[in-house]
Chain A
């Protein structure tokens, strides 16, 4: 049993919350008391029917307004897999929330209302999925019951979306006709779609291969914390604690500490207080090096071989997440894994239209939810990989030092 993290993209009108409610309900992940609670809530509404969407709207404001404002995390399991759903809002004013939810997703479910076909927001959600490099996409064409289960309607949407996917370079795309409201093709295949040869949505979610998405070739180990007991019997103990974000580490491997470039080799690997010969992503371990060198939080231990880039200038696609605009010249803290450095935005090169993928003229400043291409200068070098090549070492956040808030998400190019 492993874990699949997925995001659902779509607005309430597309039936996103209903879909999640349906998955939870049909996989028996909803308990009686929770159902009774939404039953009571539904009665407060005029239509009277049990509204599965109420399961996911966690905040009072969301329930009152019937919209999703923030990312909610939901959990269910089947004997095959544990699922973590990031339920994110779909409207353009919540792009930053969708970016947040997408950042950890293995898979995105893009919901399309069969009556509307590929719409502006379908493109936007797909663009975000491609910017955040979500490896797998399932296009769920919903509300098929409202178009008489028409194979033609379905086919035309598939043809339209294939064009979007091609333009964005989305590689693993699966299509499925559903009715979230009726539960068609969600857990079981429905007989109302004799022309549909694929599997049910749950079957797709259970069987999408995600292990191959972990890079086991290029080792990266950001040091989070140095364990130094300094007791009598452990006087010389110096262990580098961290999580392997990619690759495999073996005892005896020659390594380079970035960004300093100092070389050493692995004297021991510890996990749960026991020595092991090798460890791999995404394990949390303790590394010991042969040489007594100065290593602290923010350094990355890398096996010799393909090294990360070590520079103090970055080209990034930047999603701006703050109400105060981004103005070139502004200074922020840049945090990538365990390393935090001062940085300044050198220039904005262009703005990306998230509905069309058109590059638009560089604005004077970037506003909330804007995605721009920018150049960032850092006060000290950082060890990074291109986000497209190694997601776990190519994403950075920007923090406003005066407000302490996370104001931007950078995908390093």
Chain B
């Protein structure tokens, strides 16, 4: 490689830093949505590179469904404190009470759909005009079509047929009052790119990404952690298995994978060898229909 050549991870990093700085340059009140998952942790790491020694030009915001993994929440608080950045947490549980929302029923009753309400309320509360998120285009085929600057109307809705052309590296952040833009700086990264980047930069993650023993329920081929949020029945097959998480969402809709991966090298080897996609293996919520993600995005979901 020539002296003046960047490898793929450095190119991706530079592109993402450029996008984060465009947010800082173009918006009045941006926010970075931070869950304590690997993708948003990567975003925080990129933001440190983009803005240090200055402070972030945005707070970290977490929409807490109340169903999160305690390990992820602990990590979230520790990281925010360690880097000295402001963390705003809003709770879906509060929105449910305040707005008399009806919770899903059933075995894996999920608050995934309800978090959109809290997100929109939080956007309104703080007047956020841009929300940075860690979604990637390789995750899902509706996401493959989404812009890096994705404009949402005042109801947070994505209109896939009316997306703005996005050319070169020029991002149009102009919006009307009440609208906001969802911004995806790691759009062009794949799951494996994120893991390789985490390895290269030694980025710390919550422990649940590494193999650990956990009591799980086997359900339709997926392993779901037992927790207070899941209704167990006497016929349920429960066992203790060595597992790790490939994604970290709600405990009600994120499945674990069996694994012995104790190090990041092990994880990367397992991901290279896997034959199932990230969301397919670990997200119960995408299995509903072919257009599940497209429909949720149209309703304001990330």
Contact = CB atoms under 8 A, between A and B. Distances in A.
Q: Do A and B come from one complex?
A: yes
Interface of A: 1-3, 31-34, 37, 40-41, 55-61, 63, 69-75, 77, 81-82, 84, 96-97, 99-100, 103-104, 211, 214, 216, 224-225, 227-229, 234, 237, 239, 241-243, 245, 248, 272-273, 280-284, 297, 321, 333, 335-338, 391-392, 395-397, 399, 401, 404-406, 409
Contacts of A228: 54
A82 B197 CA distance: 14
B275 A224 contact: no
Nearest to B188: A84
Nearest to A231: B53
B168 interface: yes
A241 B166 contact: no
B4 A103 contact: no
A70 B142 CA distance: 11
B141 interface: yes
B174 A100 contact: no
Contacts of B12: 3
Given A241-B21, A404-B175, A405-B164, A397 B6 contact: no
Closest 6 CB pairs of A and B: A33-B280, A58-B141, A31-B277, A284-B17, A103-B167, A404-B174
B170 A396 contact: yes
Contact of A395 (B160, B168, B172): B168
Contact of A58 (B24, B144, B161, B280): B144
B24 to A, nearest CB: 5
A344 to B, nearest CB: 17
A225 B56 CA distance: 12
Contacts of A1: 7-8
Contacts of A396: 170
B255 to A, nearest CB: 12
Interface residues of B, number: 63
Contacts of A272: 49
Contacts of B102: none
A2 B294 contact: no
Contact of A75 (B2, B4, B22, B190): B190
B53 A336 contact: no
Given A211-B2, A224-B25, A399 B167 contact: no
Majority-rule SS of A interface residues: mixed
Nearest to B291: A60
Given A37-B290, A242-B21, A283 B144 contact: no
B276 A32 contact: yes
B275 A32 contact: yes
Q: Which of B18, B137, B142 gathers most chain A CB within 10 Å?
A: B18
Interface string B133-169: 0000110011111000001000000001101111111
Contacts of A71: 145
Given A395-B167, A395-B168, A59 B142 contact: yes
Nearest to A273: B52
Given A282-B11, A392-B168, 20 more contacts: A2-B11, A3-B8, A31-B276, A33-B276, A59-B142, A59-B160, A69-B161, A72-B141, A73-B144, A74-B138, A104-B168, A224-B18, A225-B57, A241-B50, A241-B51, A242-B21, A392-B169, A397-B167, A401-B174, A406-B164
B218 interface: no
B87 to A, nearest CB: 20
B278 to A, nearest CB: 9
B167 A73 contact: no
A17 to B, nearest CB: 12
B178 to A, nearest CB: 12
A397 B165 CA distance: 9
A71 B164 CA distance: 11
Nearest to A35: B275
A146 to B, nearest CB: 29
B275 A31 contact: yes
B11 A3 contact: yes
Contacts of B99: none
Contacts of A2: 5-8, 11
Contacts of B193: 82
A81 B161 CA distance: 32
A237 B55 CA distance: 13
29 contacts: A2-B6, A2-B8, A2-B11, A3-B11, A3-B12, A31-B274, A31-B276, A33-B277, A56-B141, A58-B141, A58-B145, A71-B145, A99-B165, A99-B167, A211-B2, A229-B53, A229-B54, A243-B17, A243-B169, A284-B49, A284-B50, A336-B170, A337-B169, A392-B168, A404-B151, A404-B172, A404-B176, A405-B164, A409-B165
